[in-house]
Amino acid sequence: MTPRVIRVLVVLLALTALATAAVEALNWWLAEEAGYALFVRTTWALLRTLGFLVLIWQVRRGRASAPPLAVILSVTSLFALARLVVPRQGPPSLWGLVGFTAVAALCGAVLVLMYHSPAVVGFLTQPRKGIVFTRKGIDWGPVRSKRPPAPGWLLTTRVAALSYSPLMLVACVVAFGLVFDGDLASGPVIGMWFLAALVVSYAMLVVTGFLMRQKPWARTGLVWLTAMVLVIHLPLCWLLLGVDGLVRDGGPLVAAAALALFGLWRSASKTGSTYQSRT
């Protein structure tokens, strides 16, 4: 039977997803200039709320990847709401600020339960269930992995690193508005930016896959890839989208990169301390 605290956590996640979508829709309705860029960012924010459904699925099945996914969803959701609530000119609306505060409180409650509730921590670290072969035949039970369990911060790093490409693609789609406005010269640059985002997605899949196997070279590769992404993404945001775009579309990627590198550092210290305790 599912513990009560897990059911409470599922309800909180559902409320967070609904509140996030409601605030995004409210901001679109209240915006004085609901232009192309705001449409793209709002659409992406609404699509990202579907990640909470994936998170609910992981929580109900006790997956260890649920807390890292909760962290990156909370961080990116708050960044996305902040860039939607704050207009280009003038103060933000009161209802937008109230909605942002409500979503921040819900995200905080989710993370507190995820990381500080012993019942939730114990439930989310249970082994994955599947088909197992025993002396009695085929059965359904816990599947023991042959690999050592990856540190939780390593999972956080992987989730944060895999978000690089989607964040770059959103900025590219926003920049395509320049082409629609007649600035055809920016088209090739935006196209190369788009291709770079696709290359980053495949590179991150490979590097983070080996990172979960705790290959030393994958840590160095992730650091270099993160630096390359920032060097490409931030200047293009500034050149094509201005300071406003640098803040709205560069800020979330900087936050994801900081979270990925911090998780990489914490996982290295955890791995080192575990090794020393064994020796």
Chain segment 186-208, per-residue pLDDT in tens: 889 999 999 999 999 999 999 99
Q: Are residues 5 and 119 in the same domain?
A: yes
Q: Are residues 83 and 21 in the same domain?
A: yes
Q: Are residues 176 and 242 in the same domain?
A: yes
Question: What pLDDT shows up at residue 51?
Answer: 86
Of 81, 97, 127, which marks where a domain is finished? Answer: 127
The C-alpha atoms of residue 61 and residue 98 are separated, in whole angstroms, by 33
Element (H, E) at 142: strand 137-142
Q: For Cα atoms 9, 10, 11, give the angle at the middle one, nearest 5 degrees.
A: 90
What torsion do the CA atoms of 34, 36, 84, 29 make, to the nearest 10 degrees? 30
Span 226-235, average pLDDT = 95
For 163-185, write each residue's pLDDT tens digit: 999 999 988 988 988 887 778 88
Q: Which of 10-14, 149-153, 234-238 has the lowest mean pLDDT?
A: 149-153
The C-alpha atoms of residue 272 and residue 274 are separated, in whole angstroms, by 5
**pLDDT band with cut points at 50, 70 and 90 for residue 143:** low
Confirm whether 190 is domain-assigned.
Answer: yes
Question: What pLDDT shows up at residue 177?
Answer: 86
The C-alpha atoms of residue 163 and residue 151 are separated, in whole angstroms, by 19
Q: Are residues 157 and 79 in the same domain?
A: no
Is residue 278's pLDDT more than 60?
no
Confirm whether 103 is domain-assigned.
Answer: yes
**pLDDT band with cut points at 50, 70 and 90 for residue 227:** very high
The total number of structural domains that make up the chain:
2
Q: For Cα atoms 242, 248, 254, give the angle at the middle one, nearest 5 degrees.
A: 105
Confirm whether 26 is domain-assigned.
Answer: yes
Is residue 218's pLDDT more than 70?
yes
pTM of the entire structure?
Answer: 0.76
Confirm whether 277 is domain-assigned.
Answer: no
Q: Are residues 115 and 166 in the same domain?
A: no
Confirm whether 142 is domain-assigned.
Answer: no
Confirm whether 154 is domain-assigned.
Answer: yes
What torsion do the CA atoms of 10, 14, 19, 22 make, to the nearest 10 degrees? 180
What residue numbers bound the domain in which 80 lies?
1-127
Between residues 257 and 129, which one has the greater pLDDT?
257
Confirm whether 133 is domain-assigned.
Answer: no
Percent of residues, the chain, with pLDDT higher than 70? 82
Q: 96 and 38 in contact (C-beta within 8 Å)?
A: no
